[in-house]
Structure formats: C-alpha cells, structure tokens
C-alpha cells in the first residue's frame, strides 16, 4: 500500500492554540446539542502513544515509498497507553454524548481504553482479536493475535483452535489486508450510524482508504448532518466540512483536550480493566477443581494471564481455562489463595485473590494503573 502514499508527504499544518480553542468551542457546542454524534478515527490519534501513522512525513507508507526504514523508537501496540483522545472518547461515551465510533485502527487501543464492544465498528480489524471460522466465537488476547502470513496475506489462520465445547475450529485473525473485503456487519453498522449522524467528527485520518472513508462522506453529504475534520494534512473531504471552524489542523490530543475543557468534562486517566471468572467444581472422592477464565465485558473469552498458581500446589496452571486441583480433607470450607501472573505488557505485578470454596462461581474485576503499578480487585456477586 506504499504506492498509495506520495513520495514526498504533504507538509503538516499546525494552527495556533487560540485558533484551536475557538474551533474547539464550536465543536463542543455541536456535540452538546447533537442527537446522534459519531466519531471516525484514524492512525493520527495513536501517534502520541508512539505508534506511527501511515501517510505523514514519517508515516509507514511514506517511508516505505522512500525506501527508508521505519523508526526503531515505535512503541509496540501491546505496550502503548491510550492517548488523551482515546480517553476523551471514553468519557463522551460514558456521558451519553458519543453514540457510535467508527475506526480504521487495528491497534486495539479503543477497546482497551474502555469503548464498549457494541459502540464501535473496527472496520480494518483488531490485532488483539481473533475468531473461530466454524462457530464465530471471538477471543480477545493480550498478545498479537495475528496470522504469520508465511504463505499468503489471505491466510488468516493464527495457529490456535476454538475452545468452545464440541467445536475445535480454526481461529482466524480479524485484520483486513489491502485488497480484502471488510467484514459485513461492522461496515453495515458504520453506514447506518453515518446516515443517522447529525454530527460526525473525523480525528486523525487522511480519509483516502475506501470504503471506510465513505462513512464521514455520508454524514457530510447529508442535509441534516454536519462534518468536522481534525487532521494535520488535507483530506479529500475537506470541502464537505460545515464551515471553516469545523476544519482543524492540529494534533487530535490538542483539539480533544480543548473540546473537553469547553464541555466541562475531565479526561479520565487510563486504567487497564480485566474480568476473571473463578468457578469451584466439587468432585467425587474429594477430587475438586478450581477453574479460572478471563472474560471481556460482553462475555467474550479474554486472554490476559500467563499462569495461575494455587497455594500448596506443586505446579502452576499455564493453559486456559486455568484448572487446578485441590482436596478438602474433611473441611467445610477452604480459602483458596490464587496467584495471578499477567502478560506483563504494562509491567503488571502478580496479584493474589482469595476465593472461598463455598462460592461456586464469582466474577472478579481487576483494575490496574500503569502509572502507580498497583492492582485493585473487586468481587462481584
């Protein structure tokens, strides 16, 4: 896809802080009074997290067109922390302003930041998400769930199998490579929300890759819809924006910090949130098991643990679902001490949870701050 980028990238433009603030005030006013506000995001919203864009002066495709190496300082998508733009969108979602999010990004930061699964169309896939070819079950991973593409870029097999009972189907990544069709349902939902939108704000996209770029175009051409664009370079849809104040040449973080200020809303700090189910199965002859499984907010299986160790056991469990055996030895209750080891993308320390055998199943909410490196564990009934 380097062929789609110019050999010399268009110069990036930066408006003054005052100009950004004035335009942010108009954008905030539209958000406040809109009935169906949607956002369309591109690679530009993740550059401040250390992930390069594609068509900027140091973009992936630009450098490839110039036969230059990508910068070695790029941050892994697994270790990248969601930006102020990501977290502002989470706040707008939680306060009811944001009705839907359409993204071209595959870095997984929207979902990680706290955007609900039903609130987003990840049109080009998610490098942390794979699905079963047979039953369709999805899996969220704290590692890159992307095929090796050793034979062809159309071979999306990740090498893992579905763990649903009676399935064992082949798992495929969700990445859309160039020349491939987009998944039907996310595109359908994106188009539906594009038609409903009375305000669509584009953040950090060059709007040059179809059919994704047609979503803002739908809103921009609608009689009832208004279009705003924040990008450091020009886009093919600039002529559709609703007045000069809706075309902002700025970093998306700078704009969204100003917008949230005008709305009187604080941008939350990123917290890594995980959910874990713990189930106790009492067996015959005192052969009992405790089973642990990570789950996403919608019940999708989620892999974020390396191992689980039960106090008193010789070996930890290292495969999902994490299953450990124990004996009651005539006791009415045992308090199982379970040490959780994480993938460590954010240098997460191990954490211990204590689960009573009198509770057959419980959901634990795990919240981790990458700034303080501390876990908070909450039991849910």
By annotation, the residues acting in catalysis are 124
Output the CA torsion 253→264→367→127 (10° steps): -30
- The b/e string for 264-297 (b: 16+ C-beta within 10 A; e otherwise) is ebebeebebebbbbbbbeeeeeeebebbbbbebe
The tokens of 167 are what? 């399935």
Q: How far apart are CA 294 and CA 239, in angstroms?
A: 47
Q: What is the enclosing helix (H) or strand (E) of 324? A: strand 322-326
DSSP 8-class letter at 80: P
Find, among 275, 274, 273, the residue nearest to 362 by Cα. 275
Q: How far apart are CA 45 and CA 361, in angstroms?
A: 40
The tokens of 219 are what? 């809103």
230 is in an annotated binding site: no
**In the chain, what is the greatest distance between 2 CA atoms, to the nearest angstrom?**
77
Query: Which 3 state secondary structure label does DSSP give 326?
Result: strand
Find, among 110, 121, 109, 98, the residue nearest to 265 by Cα. 98
Contact between residue 207 and residue 44 where contact means Cβ atoms under 8 Å apart: no
In a 13 Å sphere around the CA of 307, the CA atoms on its Cβ side amount to 7
Q: How far apart are CA 338 and CA 336, in angstroms?
A: 6
- Pairing mode, if any, of strands 138-141 and 129-132? antiparallel
359 is in an annotated binding site: no
Q: Where are the alpha helices (DSSP H) in the chain?
A: 17-33, 60-65, 84-94, 109-113, 184-196, 214-221, 252-263
Query: Which 3 state secondary structure label does DSSP give 371?
Result: coil
Give the other-Cβ count within 10 Å of 117's Cβ. Answer: 15
135 is in an annotated binding site: yes
Binding residue ranges for Zn(2+):
132, 135, 162, 167
Binding residue ranges:
132, 135, 162, 167
């Amino acid at each position: 896809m380097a062929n789609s980028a110019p050999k010399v990238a268009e110069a990036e433009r930066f408006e003054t802080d005052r100009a950004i603030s004035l335009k942010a005030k108009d954008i905030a006013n539209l958000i406040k009074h809109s009935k169906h506000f949607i956002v369309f995001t591109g690679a530009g919203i993740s550059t401040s997290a250390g992930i390069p864009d594609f068509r900027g002066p140091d973009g992936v495709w630009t450098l490839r067109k110039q036969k230059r190496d990508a910068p070695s300082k790029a941050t892994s998508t697994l270790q990248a922390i969601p930006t102020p733009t990501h977290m502002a969108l989470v706040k707008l979602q939680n306060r009811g302003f944001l009705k839907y999010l359409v993204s071209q990004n595959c870095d997984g930061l929207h979902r990680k930041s706290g955007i609900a699964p039903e609130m987003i169309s990840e049109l080009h896939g998610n490098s942390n998400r794979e699905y079963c070819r047979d039953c369709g079950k999805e899996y969220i991973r704290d590692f890159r769930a992307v095929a090796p593409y050793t034979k062809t870029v159309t071979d999306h097999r990740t090498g893992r199998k579905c763990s649903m009972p009676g399935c064992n189907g082949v798992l495929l990544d969700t990445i859309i490579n160039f020349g491939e069709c987009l998944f039907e349902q996310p595109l359908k939902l994106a188009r539906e929300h594009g038609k409903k939108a009375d305000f669509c704000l584009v953040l950090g996209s060059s709007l040059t890759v179809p059919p994704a770029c047609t979503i803002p175009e739908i809103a921009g051409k609608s009689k009832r819809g208004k279009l705003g664009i924040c990008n450091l370079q020009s886009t093919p849809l600039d002529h559709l924006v609703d007045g000069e104040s809706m075309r902002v040449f700025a970093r998306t973080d700078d704009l969204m910090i100003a917008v949230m200020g005008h709305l009187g809303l604080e941008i939350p700090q990123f917290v890594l949130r995980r959910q874990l189910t713990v189930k106790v199965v009492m067996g015959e002859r005192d052969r009992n098991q405790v089973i642990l499984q990570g789950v996403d907010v919608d019940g999708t299986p989620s892999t974020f643990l390396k191992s689980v160790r039960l106090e008193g056991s010789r070996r930890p469990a290292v495969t999902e679902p994490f299953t450990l055996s124990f004996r009651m030895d005539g006791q009415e209750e045992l308090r199982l001490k379970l040490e959780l080891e994480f993938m460590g993308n954010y240098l997460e320390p191990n954490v211990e949870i204590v689960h009573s055998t009198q509770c057959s199943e419980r959901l634990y909410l795990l919240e981790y701050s990458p700034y303080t490196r501390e876990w908070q564990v909450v039991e849910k009934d």
